[in-house]
């Protein structure tokens, strides 16, 4: 019994049990290790992916619950069609320019959350950023650079319109 | 000196008992409508029935998502929700931090540790007008009975909601690591029906 879903634009079938956390499937079965294991209890945000365009913590998402749905990980974020892809590319560019990461462990989750934020709110306020990113913890405390990166990416995307 | 030690020990025991009683040690049992049939006066019977319903209403399983602020609480001690979340425009969280970012259609046991994350297809915060935390049972009763503050429900619909709504029912199947609300959802629905039938009286 396999679970079929779309992963980064490609059809895949995972053989793990349906109650296996998606994070385990992504990393151990499908070999996509960009999504990180941080806490395992939906407290840190390091495992954030997109399911049908919305943020989702992969550590508490049973594989069976994504059957037939579209999952995007950090490996496929920039190649996604339409606005999510454009936003992810702008964020990754801003992240690089501003040297946002320190150790980098949480950053894939940060970018996945920020992508959904900026795709929905073109000019996010500090309050928008704080509320949207509150569940993504950075032990290196790069929060100010994360905010700068989101603002930089958002401003460039607005200029391109 | 010995007397002082005895007083100290007694004080500590009292404090411990109080703390234990407060942390998730709510009523274990829920009486049914038949237990109130002997109260002849309908108003007094209705008040007694609502007081019994209050054992469920005041369970942390219910109160945690009926906050008086824009953020839920969690656990039997009803501590502030972690990670920090806000209700957003529809009680479903904000962009990139929806309830459904973490809460799925059903409870999910943690893989690497004890406990679980709760889930339901309609997991969300109760609207502001349905805040229960910090309210008296009388205030909650009047809110529940008021269609302008209960989601437009008639009393008949309120009976159905309490007795059959899937998210309400989560309170009795909260998953590993959580104490269920007292009784059963069916009993809670029956109590609500009996309360309505007796006049839906609210405590002062």
ipTM of this complex: 0.96
Q: Closest chain A residue to B112 measured between Cα atoms?
A: A40
CA dist A86 and A99 (Å) reads 20
pLDDT of B12 higher than 80: no
CB B88 within 8 A of CB B36: no
pLDDT at residue B28 in the model: 67
Split at pLDDT 50, 70, 90, the class of A161 is: confident
CA dist B88 and B69 (Å) reads 12
User: Is A60 within 8 Å of B102 when comparing Cβ atoms?
Assistant: yes
CB B145 within 8 A of CB B170: no
Range with lowest mean pLDDT among A84-93, A99-108, A148-157, B2-11:
B2-11
Is A91 touching B (CB cutoff 8 A)? Answer: no
- B117, containing H or E segment: strand B116-117
Residues A85-118 have pLDDT tens digits of 999 999 999 999 999 999 999 999 999 999 999 9
Q: How many Å lie between the alpha carbon of B84 and the closest alpha carbon of chain A?
A: 6
Determine which of A38, A41, A110 to mutate to test the interface with B (most B C-beta atoms within 10 Å): A41
Q: Mean pLDDT over all residues of chain A?
A: 97
pLDDT at residue A1 in the model: 87
Can you tell me whether residue B105 is helix, strand or coil? coil
Residues B51-60 have pLDDT tens digits of 999 999 999 9
The model carries a pTM of 0.89
């Amino acid at each position: 019994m396999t679970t079929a879903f779309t992963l980064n634009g490609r059809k895949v079938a995972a053989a793990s049990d349906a109650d296996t956390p998606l994070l385990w499937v992504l990393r151990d079965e499908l070999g996509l290790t960009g999504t990180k294991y941080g806490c395992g209890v939906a407290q840190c945000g390091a495992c954030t992916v997109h399911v049908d365009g919305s943020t989702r913590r992969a550590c508490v998402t049973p594989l069976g619950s994504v059957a037939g749905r579209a999952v995007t990980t950090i490996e496929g974020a920039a190649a996604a069609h339409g606005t999510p892809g454009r936003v992810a590319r702008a964020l990754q560019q801003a992240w690089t320019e501003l040297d946002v990461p320190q150790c980098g462990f949480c950053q894939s989750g940060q970018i996945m959350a920020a992508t959904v934020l900026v795709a929905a709110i073109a000019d996010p306020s500090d309050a928008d950023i704080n509320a949207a990113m509150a569940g993504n913890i950075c032990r290196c405390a790069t929060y100010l650079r994360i905010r700068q990166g989101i603002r930089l990416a958002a401003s460039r995307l607005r200029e391109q319109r | 000196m010995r007397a002082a030690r005895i007083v100290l020990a007694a004080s500590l025991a009292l404090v411990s008992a109080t703390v234990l009683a407060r942390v998730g040690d709510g009523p274990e049992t829920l009486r049914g409508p038949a237990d109130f049939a002997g109260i002849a006066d309908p108003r007094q019977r209705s008040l007694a029935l609502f007081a019994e319903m209050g054992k469920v209403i005041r369970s942390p399983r219910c109160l945690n998502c009926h906050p008086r602020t824009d953020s839920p609480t969690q656990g039997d001690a009803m501590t502030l929700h972690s990670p920090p979340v806000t209700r957003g425009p529809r009680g479903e969280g904000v962009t990139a931090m929806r309830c459904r970012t973490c809460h799925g259609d059903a409870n999910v046991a943690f893989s690497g540790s004890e406990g679980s994350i709760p889930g339901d297809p309609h997991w969300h915060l109760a609207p502001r007008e349905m805040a229960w935390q910090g309210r008296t049972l009388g205030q909650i009763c009047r809110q529940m009975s008021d269609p302008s503050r209960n989601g437009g429900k008639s009393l008949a619909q309120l009976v159905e909601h309490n007795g059959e709504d899937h998210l309400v029912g989560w309170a009795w199947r909260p998953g590993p690591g959580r104490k269920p609300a007292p009784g059963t959802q069916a009993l809670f629905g029956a109590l609500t029906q009996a309360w309505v039938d007796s006049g839906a009286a609210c405590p002062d």
